[in-house]
Amino acid sequence: MDLGLKGKKVILTGGSRGIGRAAVEMFAAEGADVAFCSRNPEQVAETAAAIAPHGGKVFAEAFDMESGHDAYRAWLTKAGEALGGCDIFVPMISTSGAGATGDWHKTLDYDILGAVIGVEVLEPHLAASGEGSIVLMSSTAGLETFLVPQGYNALKGAMLVYAGQLSQALGPKGIRVNCISPGPIKFPGGNWEMIEKAMPGLYGAVNADMAMGRWGGAEEVAKTVVFLASPASSFTTGTNVVIDGGYTKRVQF
């Protein structure tokens, strides 16, 4: 299927490993121009080198959300200028990757305000696109009780409300807004790889709850991100796609 992404300008935050890295590679393989960031300079450089052969523009820089909101706005502005606009925005910086899911303030800054500020800065570009698209990251941890009460779980639930309302507000401007909610996903260097070694009991319990009998991979989530973001999904907005291999047990209508 031609997703219609050739020449599209994609800005994605948190793109050097896991789901973000997989999405960056897929966007580039589809012919999109890509701007992305990550805290780790070496991973940023390696990812940029990996996608360069696809031939599109690549703007890649190390960036840490601890630098503050003004620095984040400056990076987004610089990314938009480097690509010459923005058709697709996918904010993926999260305390999940930073190992700080229990920190309410950081989760607000990284996950929620990372999305909110990004939309504020990039909305003019997205509206000018005519095919503007935003894909936000929630989690199955925001859909039902999971592990312990913590900022990450509660604020990922708030992300769903924000995404739904944003889709209504930006729809008249030609901007689609959708959300994805991955379940436990395992990839090299990710949380669940570490939990497998440090807390085998928890790892085994979660594994046993997988209806499909296996862990999901970063690429399996990234494929949904790229499709939802693309013109191939042109009449989809305001939705939340659960990608969890049957881990959650809700009846979904």
36 backbone φψ class: left, alpha, beta (φ>0; ψ -120 to 50): beta
Whether residue 129 lies in the annotated active site: no
Whether residue 16 lies in the annotated active site: no
Q: Cβ distance 28 to 34 under 8 Å?
A: yes
Please pick, among 96, 138, 181, 230, the residue that the annotation labels catalytic. Answer: 138
Task: Determine the residue type at 5.
Answer: L
Whether residue 9 lies in the annotated active site: no
Torsion (CA) 220, 224, 226, 230 in degrees, nearest 10: 160
Please pick, among 72, 110, 152, 162, the residue that the annotation labels catalytic. Answer: 152
Please pick, among 8, 9, 106, 156, the residue that the annotation labels catalytic. Answer: 156
> What is the distance between the alpha carbons of residues 217 and 26, in angstroms, rounded to a whole number?
14
Token pair, residue 122, equals 């990039």
Question: What Å distances lie between residue 71 and 42, 67, 108, 237, CA to CA?
Answer: 20, 6, 16, 30
Torsion (CA) 123, 124, 129, 130 in degrees, nearest 10: 80
Question: What Å distances lie between residue 144 and 24, 85, 115, 186, 216, CA to CA?
Answer: 29, 37, 22, 20, 19
Q: What single string gives the DSSP state of each residue in 145-199?
A: --SS--HHHHHHHHHHHHHHHHHHHHGGGTEEEEEEEE-SB--TTSHHHHHHHH-
Please pick, among 139, 167, 181, 233, the residue that the annotation labels catalytic. Answer: 139
- Return the active site residues: 138-139, 152, 156
